Amino acid sequence: MNIVRFLKSDQVHLGTVIADKYVIDLGPSGLSNIYTFLKYYPESMEIAREAGRDLELAGFYSFGEIELLPPIPRPTKMICLGLNYKDHALEFGGKLPEEPIIFAKSPTAVIGPDDEIILPTDQTDYEAELAIVMARRCSHVSKEDAKEYVLGFTILNDVTARDIQAIDNQFFRSKSFDTFAPIGPCITTVDEIGDPDNLDIECRLNGVLRQKSNTSNLIFSVYDIVSFISESVTLEPGDIIGTGTPGGVGFKQDPPIFLRSGDELELTIENIGTLKNVVK
């Protein structure tokens, strides 16, 4: 199931995607927003499936009739991993981490598909990431049980101001400017994603391939990450976890490639789709 938030006639709706062509409105089924969906999870999954079986009752739209919004408008927390792809860790010249390196990113940075990334500096970089979306509250969960607490997965661009990162010598400010967390276009649920540790991921900047990898190259796997974070931080429904970015970031190109006004970014992850944003 692919879950989306969308705008239609100045009203925000929750929906699911059918056949990659249409969006079913879940409002008539009582699931008017993503937080209601999470509140009644997992029962809400069956309600959504039932809505898809009766299109006339639910109502549906083509993508041309709606505007996609970020699938989670304001997560309680955004927790990300640094240096979690082997090639990315090596391009930064360091050893592979022995345990996950985690940092926070401000939820106020969230924007959606086709929204503008606003540049605060001239050394702003892209980072394509698979993001985990939590469904249920969890603390001290095992790797084996972690899947039961996850709603699904989306795409995150962990946009970073590299000059600020160097000045601060830590990550929060450099990754938390407004518009620095594009997510979307949908949440692909656990039952539809396939193996989250074997998904192709890529980033194109103005049509040129800049990052290309597979989540099999993650140093710490998806459910290992959930378990590790839950040992110290209670995860809540709607929380987002960025699993790290592969090699090919602009900062490490020769010469470096930073985002410029007018740039177009396309981040694609297998079984989820493509997240597109423009730079201003």
* One pLDDT digit (tens) per residue for the chain, 280 residues: 999 999 999 999 999 998 888 999 999 899 999 999 999 999 999 999 998 787 666 678 999 999 999 999 999 999 999 989 988 877 777 778 899 999 999 999 999 999 999 999 999 999 999 999 999 999 999 999 999 999 999 999 999 999 999 999 889 999 999 999 999 999 999 999 999 999 999 999 999 999 999 999 999 999 999 999 999 999 999 999 999 999 999 999 999 999 999 999 999 999 999 999 999 9
Structural domain spans, the chain = 2-69, 78-279
Identify any residues that bridge with 4 across adjacent strands, giving them in sequence order. 15
Beta bridge partners of 273: 269
- Count H helices, E strands: the chain? 8, 19
Start-to-end CA span in the chain (Å): 33
Burial category of 98 from C-beta neighbours within 10 Å (exposed 0-12, middle 13-18, buried 19 and up): exposed
Q: What class does CATH assign to 78-279?
A: alpha beta
Amino acid identity of residue 253, one-letter, is: Q
pLDDT of res. 57: 64
- Residues β-bridged to residue 235: 138
Report the C-alpha gap between 71 and 73 in whole angstroms: 6
Q: In whole angstroms, what is the distance from residue 259 CA to residue 34 CA? A: 32
CB 79 within 8 A of CB 21: no
- pTM of the prediction? 0.96
